[in-house]
Structure 1
Amino acid sequence: MTLSQCYCFSLIITIYFSLLFHTLASPTQHFCRPNQRDALLEFIDEFPTDASNPSPWDKSSECCLWEGVTCHDKSSKVISLDLSYTFLNSTLKINSSLFRLSYLRHLNLNGCNLQGEIPSSLGNLSRLTLLDLASNQLVGEIPSSLGNLKRLRYLNLGANTLTGEIPASVGNLNQLKYLILAANELRGEIPSSLGNLSCLLELSLSANHLVGEIPASIGNLNELRAMSLGQNILSGNLPISFANLTKLNHVSLRSNNFTSILPSNMSGFHNLEHFDVGANSFLGSFPKSLFTIPSLQVVYLEENQFMGPIEFVDTTSLSPKLELLYLAHNNFDGPIPESISKFLNLGELHLSHNNVIGTIPRSISKLVNLYYLDLSNNKLEGKIPGFLWRLTTMTLSHNFFSSFEISSQETLIQALDLNSNSFGGPFPRWICKLKGLSFLDLSNNLFNGSIPPCLRNLTDSLTDMILRNNSLSGVLPDIFASATELRSFDVSRNKLEGKFPKSLINCKALEFLNVESNIIKDKFPYWLGSLPSLHVLSLRSNEFYGPLYHRHKSLGFQSLRVIDISHNDFNGTLPSYYFSTWLEMTTLPDEDDRYMADIVNPFLFYRNSMEMVNKGVEMSFERIRQDFRAIDFSGNRIYGRIPESIGFLKELRLLNLSDNTFIGDIPRFLANLTKLETLDLSCNKFSGQIPQDLDKLTFVSYMNFSHNLLHGPVPRGTQFQRQKCSSFMDNTKLYGLEEICGEIPSPNPTTSQQPEELSDSEEQMFNWVAATIAYGPGVLCGLVIGHIFTSHNHEWFTEKVGGRKLRVTTRAH
């Protein structure tokens, strides 16, 4: 049972009991007892009230008529108090007036914003049959005194922050039918005393920190219908007694550390509907007997260590009600069995991340209710059969499919993921007919030719178009006039040329735009700055040119978080206010980032990716970190000073301005970027000293100041001293590199001449330099290989002069 399902089920039970409680008495038939009235009023006065949060009761009326209060029809004593979702906003006191209501049978304070600990005094309300304190902010341990409530049938303490162990005294509640302690911070083992609860129908301990094995005594719970132990740290084997729980209809052991095999014969669980053991380390072969249970509807076996072929029992009595089957992330091999067609009610089939081979069997066409198919990350091959186009979601990525079978039937496909296969030839124009398509990923294939203009037929519904890493050529068509829902567009690593499509200005929902590594030749599309949701922009490695801003237009880019315009031909200076409107690089938003994890539909998730130079190495960011903020302007012809407004981008993690023509001192305001992890200013014309203030950049793991005109001492901060020597090379007057680069032998005066051969010390020095250059991650500018060392007030230069000869010169400091 998943956590959400658990609480839905519990809520239904709570509502049922609440309705039942209010039928126990007819409060209009009697008057409220004064002592009961006084106790109620004193209890409600224990909680703060004001104009925005008034008391829930009218003191001028009979207390048995108050909302949530039920009195016995003869004795007029309060037997039920249901204040669920009333904003009490305080602690439940140990001497609360509540405990004077000694005839209470039902106490429901669910969702009241209660705080503090559960008072042990609750154990004195000995007539309680229902106690619900769920969805509050309660802390501390569960009091063992609750074990005194021998009449209790329903106990719900879920969704709090309770700590400590489950008290063994809970095992004294031998009439208990519902025990819900999920979503707390409980630790320790499941007490074996829970095996005494022979009447229990539901056991929910999920989302805690419980450890150890499931106690064998759990097999005593012969009446149990629902067991949820997921999201704990339980381990070991399932007890043999687990097979005794034949009345179970709902089982969740998800997200634990179980390492055993499942029971060899599971057909005895003849009432089972929902079975979830996903995200464990269960072993063994495919559990054939599980799929003979007639009532079975949902099975989660994903993310385990199951192995061998997927085989069903050779019988016509396979689970006829099965709707969802999750087998992903295991070690299953062999073909998809033809017998899978017997699950006529199957709606979702998940087989991704296994070693399944062969082709898609024709028998799947009999699954008329199938709407979601995930066969990604296997070793399937051949042709995609036409009958699959009636599905709504199909992901077949990371296989060896090479062709399509076109269907004349109506297509219902909404999400199509075919990335990383062996498809080739021209772009498949039949895709233009998929009118309801919202997600399309054809990346990492061998498609060639042009992108057809007919794709504009889809842009009304498309949210994601991913064509990355093919061999597409020709002009990138201007087809986005009606693409108002488009959130992600990626055509990187193709051979597209021409102008940048200006109709992208209509894509008001656009969050991710990547045209990296094409041949697009145009000016900087400054008008993209008006897109309200644009988070990621990559124009890297194209032929863009000209300045980076328009003097008469607003800079915009208020939502930009990652920008890579490196390796183009941009030029000009940047005004001091250039970055002043880049607001999402100044603070992190509170809401979740959709562009980092786009939900295409309720079942298929896609993460945008891109490549950047991070820490001196070109890296692929398959999953862009949610707090990642980056600027890469490297490899252009931008000159002048670094704009002062960049110092306001407090959330910046990566800044790469290398291989440009920036001048002046390295500005001290870069020290304001306290979250920087990567800083590359290499291959420019910076002069002056490296600011000591950069010591404040305590998160920086990579810096590069090489190939500039810097002088003075290298700062002594830890982050500087742990850089490689190559990060400071070719700065003629830098010194203080001894601890970073190592000591270099003092030169012999005769080496000021031009020797025919190298001395031993010179040979040693050159080998050291060559090794540093080969190993170092920095970018080398031009064809000169060099490094500056300072030792004993000398600066050493080496430069290649042809052949294997070196000219070594010495200059006094």
Structure 2
Amino acid sequence: MMNRSHCYCFSGIITIFFSLLIHALASPSLHFCRHNQRDALLEFRDEFPIDESYPSSWNKSIDCCLWEGVTCDNKYGQVISLVLHFTSLNSSLKSNSSLFRLQYLSYLSLSGCNIKGEIPSSIGNLSRLTFLDLHWNQLVGKIPASVGNLNQLRYLSLQANDLTGEIPSSIGNLSLLTLVDLSYNELVGEIPASVGRLSQLRNLTLGRNDLLGEIPSSLGNLSSLLELTLTSNHLEGQVPASIGNLKELRVMSLGQNSLSGNIPISFANLTMLSYLDITFNNFTSSSTFPYDISGFHNLESLLIRDNSFLGPFPKSLFSIPSLQVIDLGGNQFTGPIEFMNTSSSSSKLQYLYLTCNRFHELIPESISEFINLEELQLSHNNFTGTIPRSISKLVNLFYLDLSNNNLEGEVPSWLGRLNMVKLSHNSFSSFSQETLRDIFVEELHLRSNSFRGPFPHWICKLTRLTLLDLSNNFFNGSIPPCLRNFTISIIELMLQNNSFSGILPDIFANATELRSLDVSRNHLEGNLPKSLINCKTLELVNVESNRFRDKFPSWLGSLPSLHVLILRSNEFYGPLYHRYMSTAFQSLRVIDISHNDFTGTLPPHYFSNWRYMTTLNEISRDYMEDIANHTRLQNSMEMMNKGVEMSFERIRQDFRAIDFSGNRIYGNIPESIGLLKELCLLNLSGNAFTSHIPRFLANLTKLESLDLSRNKLSGQIPQDLGKLSFLSYMNFSHNLLQGPVPRGTQFQRQKCSSFMDNPRLYGLEEICGKIHVPCSTTSQQHEELSEPEEQMFSWVAAAIAYGPGVFCGLVMGHIFTSHNHEWFTEKFGRRKLRVTTSAR
């Protein structure tokens, strides 16, 4: 967003100062290294595995005062400085390390040396230390209280380790400290009030920890402080009014905490501030902030995003001549935006972020006064009208985000010279007919507008495109082959939810950077283009709800990064299994092939190599983190989840799903599905699976939704499914299941309809209520009848049948013995003949 190097320049100045001071005290021309100093250094070297990065000069044949990273005292030859930046020590500092025998050491820097383990308390024995830098290692455990013994220390940097525990209060004893950097650790507890005793402190950096509590008011005593960074902790409460005493402060960074209340009036004293970050807190508006900071003539960056500030647009901010970055996003500012008080120096402004507020009316033409503006983000407001033509005068602008407003009209051609254009979720309906010049667009976001007609062919001229999003519009006609002009650079191609028809052109032979292809919910037909096999970085393919008619694209299984495959609601057909699929789809996380015409059986080993569904490994975490941090990959998809069709705007980090429903797959459910322990959703409904519900489904401990309805499954429902604690939805309806419904909370929470149309299933009273009566007496209930009752039932049945049988026998005998059998034949034989004839 900006260059913050000026925020940390003081740290660098101090480092350079101390380095020059140490080297000024030493004379490289004098070679009289003391033997005890040399031996201590060699022993220190031997405490660690020898690595190529270790200085080659460290040997007995060379005076140790000439060794790389070593500086000796000019007068006595004592080692006073040891600097081993980025030397791979790859081990821990021992409590009895020979390092601690270097009693005259005043400058110690072991940054980036891959030191492990805890900081030994023996560090407190180096009483002459003025500079201690152990940052960017793998140190763990607490900061030893013995650090408080280093009363000559002026510089302390332990940043970027894995330190835990509280900041020792003994740090307040180090009255000469000018810099303390403990950032990027896992420190907990409150900031000790004793820090307020460090009267010479210039830089206090405690960001990126887990610190709690309020900001101590004692920090107001640090009258020499130039930089205060407490970002990304769990600090709460109000900012103490004593902060206003820090009149020399240049940098204040309090972002990403839980601070609240009003900014104190004393803030007005901080007129030397050049950088102010209070983003992602719960601050509220006051009568003075942010409206009355026009006296901050040195302020370059003002970041107050994601708080609870409200009120009219703070136009007074734009009278500050030094401002380069303004971020007011994520608040509740209202009304029109005006730039009436802009000074003649307002051209310094480079980044303006007003997103996610309640600004409305037109975007003012006066915005063109900020001639050095590079990024302009006005998204998620209620701006109306058209894009001001004056924005075209901003010759340095490369990023424009006007998405999620109520803008309308045509998209001007001059936008083609920008790198990033975001106009999604507006009411734009047409494009300027002016000829495109100086085309530099890399990302073009036009999602959810009112565009109509054929694919705009001028887009084919955007040969640098990495992202094209035309989704959720009213485009029709064919997708032109000229898209191959930018396929060499395209990363995401999103054309879903339009009315494109015809075939999807086979244009992906050079699309080696393509990660996401979404053409779902159109009218496309024919085959999937085989050139997709060249897209080795492809992660998502979504062709849902089209008219593709093709065999299952098993060839996509060779793509090493394919995570999501959606073929839902098309006309795909044929078997799902091919012999060469034994190593396919290893990276697949979500597959939905529902509502097609796939047939055949699935062999027992079908899912054996779907390793991304077996383990939520570090690779998959990195992938999802990459997606979360990426400005792209916002594809949506729809799936049946827990019996309801749901739309996923983003795919959950750990979501794993298989939906094979609505096809004609038969045979047994493959045993290998029991290996997919990360599976969240399994839908095999609407097929012809037979045999029993496999017990190994109980291995799917992450399962949330299971739908096996409308198959030909038989046998009993496995009792162990009730042990799946995340399983909140099951559907076994319309099968041939029998026996008792398992008891347990997971089953009792299901709807009665989840078990319907299984005539031999019983035990539904607790689920369906007492009014539920089974369709027929089940075999198990017959077996539960006692033997005496069964015998009684048999005798009663025999007696009921005996009487009519005797009567019929006597009548028939009389007819035949009295020679009237011709009458019998005439009456019944002819009727049988007539019935038989009519049936034919």
Cα distance change on mapping 1:481 and 1:82 into 2, 3 Å: closer
Deviations 1:33-69 (A, max 9, x none): 9699499669959x95234599989484666555555
Within-5 A mapping of 1:670-709: 670-709=697-736
1:666 alignment counterpart: 693
> Does the alignment pair 1:582 with 2:610?
yes
2 CA distance for matches of 1:421 and 1:789? Answer: 60
| Consecutive unaligned residues in structure 2, runs of 5 or more | 79-103, 783-840
Residue pair 2:111, 2:137 contacting (<8 A) in 1 also:
yes
The reply on whether 1:149 has 2:174 as its aligned counterpart is: yes
Deviations 1:45-94 (A, max 9, x none): 9x952345999894846665555554554465433222222344233333
Q: Does 1:512 align with 2:512?
A: no
Which segment is superposed worse, 650-659 or 163-172? 163-172
Say which SS state the counterpart of residue 23 (structure 1) adopts. Answer: helix
Using the size of structure 1 for normalisation, the TM-score is 0.87
Indicate whether 1:365 and 2:392 are aligned: yes
In the alignment, the residues of structure 1 paired with residue 13 and residue 620 of structure 2 have an alpha-carbon distance, to the nearest angstrom, of 32
Cα distance in structure 1, aligned partners of 2:309 and 2:40: 53
Q: Is 1:459 paired with 2:484?
A: no
Q: Secondary structure at the match of 2:591?
A: strand
Q: 2:7 & 2:602 partners in 1: Cα distance?
A: 56
Task: For residue 213 of structure 2, give the secondary structure of its aligned residue in structure 1.
Answer: strand
Whichever residue aligns with residue 152 of structure 1, its letter is L
The alignment status of 1:189 with 2:214, answered yes or no, reads yes
Partner amino acid for 2:182?
L
* Number of residue equivalences: 751
Structure 2 CA distance for partners of 1:444 and 1:104, relative to 1, 3 Å: same
- 1:543 is matched with 571
The answer (yes or no) to whether the contact 1:69–1:80 under 8 Å persists in 2 is no
C-alpha distance in structure 1 between counterparts of 2:624 and 2:53, whole Å = 43
| Residue equivalent to 1:767 | none
Equivalent residue number for residue 533 of structure 1: 561
Displacement after TM superposition at 1:736 (Å): 1.1
Post-superposition Cα deviations, 1:133-180, rounded to whole Å, max 9, x if no partner, equal: 222232222222222222221222222222221111211111111111
Larger helix fraction of residues:
2
Structure 2 CA distance for partners of 1:304 and 1:2, relative to 1, 3 Å: farther
Once the two structures are overlaid, the 10-residue window that deviates more, 279-288 or 369-378, is 279-288
Distance 2:258 2:777 in 1: 55
Q: Is the 8 A contact 1:309 1:335 kept in 2?
A: yes
- Residue 23 of structure 1 is matched in structure 2 by 23
Q: Distance in 2 between matches of 1:271 and 1:317?
A: 16
User: What is the aligned partner in structure 2 of residue 470 from structure 1?
Assistant: 498
Residues in 1 aligned to 2:36 and 2:241: alpha-carbon distance in whole angstroms: 46
Separation in 2, partners of 1:745, 1:292: 76
Match of 1:740 in 2: 767
Q: Matches of 2:300 and 2:722 in 1, distance apart?
A: 61
Alignment pair present for 1:134 and 2:133: no
Match of 1:274 in 2: 301
1:165 correspondence with 2:193 = no
- Alignment identity in percent? 63
Aligned mates of 2:200, 2:754 — CA distance in 1: 72
Q: Could you tell me which amino acid in structure 2 is paired with residue 432 of structure 1? A: C
Task: Pick closer, same or farther for the CA change 1:100–1:685 going to 2, 3 Å.
Answer: closer
2:739–2:780 contact (8 Å) kept in structure 1: no
Query: Is the CA contact 2:291–2:317 (under 8 Å) kept in the aligned structure 1?
Result: no
Query: Does the CA-based 8 Å contact 1:141-1:164 persist in structure 2?
Result: yes
Give the secondary-structure state (helix, strand or coil) at the position aligned to 1:620: strand
Question: Which letter maps to 1:448?
Answer: N
- Which of 616, 619, 640 is matched with 1:591 structurally? 619
Distance 1:684 1:656, change over 3 A: same
SS across alignment from 1:684 = coil
Note closer, same or farther for the CA distance 1:453–1:245 as it changes in structure 2 (3 Å cut).
Answer: same
Show the 5 A alignment for 1:267-666: 267-317=294-344, 319-408=346-435, 409-551=437-579, 556-591=584-619, 604-666=631-693
Deviations 1:477-508 (A, max 9, x none): 22222222211111111111222222222222
Where does residue 49 of structure 2 map in the other structure?
50
TM-score for the superposition, normalised by structure 2: 0.84
**1:111 aligned onto 2:110:** no
Contact kept? 1:107, 1:131, Cα under 8 Å: yes
Cα deviation for residue 285 of structure 1 reads: 1.9
Tell me: CA distance 1:49–1:370, structure 2 relative to 1, closer, same or farther (3 Å).
Answer: same
Flag the 1:476–1:89 CA change in 2: closer, same or farther, 3 A: closer
3-state DSSP class of the match of 1:631? strand
Unaligned 5+ runs, structure 1: 748-786, 795-813
Contact 1:123 1:145 in 2 (8 A): yes
Residue among 692, 714, 723 paired with 2:741: 714
Residue 270 of structure 1, CA deviation:
0.6
Mapped to 1, the partners of 2:2 and 2:44 lie a distance apart of 36
1:2: Cα distance to partner?
Answer: 9.4
Is contact 2:516–2:633 with CA below 8 Å preserved after alignment? Answer: no
C-alpha contact (below 8 Å) 1:70/1:79 kept by paired residues: no
Tell me the secondary structure at the aligned position of residue 325 of structure 1.
Answer: strand
Offset at 1:311? 1.2
Maintained 8 Å contact 1:134/1:156: yes
Q: State which drifts further: 421-430 or 476-485.
A: 476-485
Corresponding residue number in structure 2 for 1:752: none
- Counterpart of 1:243? 268
- Provide the C-alpha distance between the structure 2 equivalents of 1:470 and 1:672, rounded to a whole number of angstroms: 41
Pick closer, same or farther for the CA change 1:211–1:495 going to 2, 3 Å: same
Amino acid at match of 1:564: D
Provide the alpha-carbon RMSD of the alignment.
Answer: 2.9
Residue 424 of structure 1 contacts residue 448 of structure 1 at CA under 8 Å; is this kept in 2? yes
* Alignment check: 8 A CA contact 2:320 2:343 kept: no
8 Å CA contact retained: 2:683, 2:708 = yes
SS at match of 2:727: coil
| Worse-matched range after superposition: 418-427 or 574-583 | 574-583
What is the rounded CA distance, in whole Å, between the counterparts of 2:621 and 2:147 in structure 1?
44
Counterpart of 1:256 in structure 2 is 281
Judged with a 3 Å threshold, the aligned counterparts in structure 2 of structure 1 residues 194 and 345 are, in CA distance, closer, same or farther, namely same
Counterpart contact for 1:444–1:469, Cα < 8 Å: yes
Of 177, 180, 189, the match for 2:205: 180
Name the structure 1 match of 2:224.
199
Change over 3 Å in CA distance of 1:552–1:274 after alignment to 2: closer
Deviations 1:558-591 (A, max 9, x none): 2111111101111111122222222221122313
Counterpart in 2 of 1:123?
A: 148
Question: One-letter code of the match for 2:699?
Answer: N
The answer to whether the 8 Å contact 1:662/1:685 transfers is yes
Q: For the residues of structure 1 that align with 2:268 and 2:734, how far apart are their CA atoms?
A: 71
1:18, CA displacement in angstroms? 5.0
Partner Cα separation in structure 2 for residue 365 and residue 122 of structure 1: 58
Give the greater-gyration-radius structure (CA).
2
1:229 alignment partner, one of 234, 254, 260 = 254
| Matched letter for residue 188 of structure 1 | G
| Separation (CA, whole Å) in 1 of partners of 2:314 and 2:224 | 30
The AA in structure 2 aligned to 1:50 is P
Contact 1:300 1:325 in 2 (8 A): yes
- Is the contact between residue 765 and residue 772 of structure 2 (CA under 8 Å) also seen in structure 1? no
Taking the aligned partners of 2:141 and 2:675, their CA distance within structure 1 comes to 42
Query: Aligned partners of 2:536, 2:717: CA distance in 1, in Å?
Result: 42
CA distance in structure 2 between the partners assigned to 1:359 and 1:365 by the alignment: 13
Kindly state the Cα deviation for residue 622 of structure 1 after the two structures are TM-superposed: 0.8
Q: CA deviation at 1:433?
A: 1.3
